[in-house]
Amino acid sequence: MADKIVRIGTRESPLAVWQAQQVQRLLTAQNVSSELVYIKSEGDTDLVTPLYTLGVQGIFTKALDTALLNNRIDIAVHSMKDVPVQLAEGVKQAAVLKRGSCKDVFVYKDKSTLEKIGYINGQWAMNNGQWLTIHSSSLTIATSSVRRIAQWLNRYPNTTIENLRGNVNTRLRKLKESAWHGAIFAAAGLERIGLRPATAIDLDWMLPAPAQGAIMVVCREGDEAIFKTCMNFNDDATALCVKIERDFLKVLSGGCSTPISALVEVKNYDVAFKGNILSIDGKVKVEIAKTIFFNKANQLGKIAGEEILSKGGDKIIEQIRNAAR
């Protein structure tokens, strides 16, 4: 590896480049030279169609997978929540970086919106430990994520939802130029490139997408030198958490058109899991919470997925599939 320049494949958005540069720094720390190779994805070229109507697995990763398999690059860097649970044939997970914030945030336009969404004195409205449903008919918010839409409508059922596509900078600009009350973003996406506005508040009641906030590095199967180099900066705790979350997603056969959320946290010797699935309109929600000893957690995602299916998640999935036909 000493004489090899590792070609790092990345999308061109500021956030994607930031993530690739993080990997580049980790390689430099091992005295490994590298260069960035910029590749456009289908998700970057179509900024109008809502993601959930595209119905495409790996819309942000396919172009990088192709470049990897065609030997144009040696590794690819992804936001892990964008990566299909089944990797492309010939592509192998090489490392998962230490997770950043996994939260979603709401960026509001005017302070008067805070009362409408039940965010009072820096806290979300609750009753006996349960998040309150807020009935406000005058809200208009923007997001292209079917998961965020469903969870938002579950709490704020009368909201008007607008589609919002583009990289972080583009979406912030669209919000500024709009008449919307606000928009939903991933906290990590804003924070990593220093763009989190003062008007951003954490959506503590909203469960994130599986693997949200994590960065994944993939390489070609059989490239053991690259694989071993990347494994030197693999974060074991993060890798376990996102594996469980993605196993849950896999059992539910979820893609970008299914509102599935999951979060795993390691607490001392325990692994705590929370997950849910909602109908597209947010009216029906099935959720699950489980805590298990660390040494027995490897199958937790599969167990939780099967349990949520038996509690009614299967009916939600069937309804979504029938509606898509």
Catalytic residue set: 82
The total of other beta-carbon atoms located within 10 Å of residue 164's CB is: 23
Q: Alpha carbon of 151 to those of 11, 71, 117, 155, 205: distances in Å?
A: 29, 41, 13, 7, 9
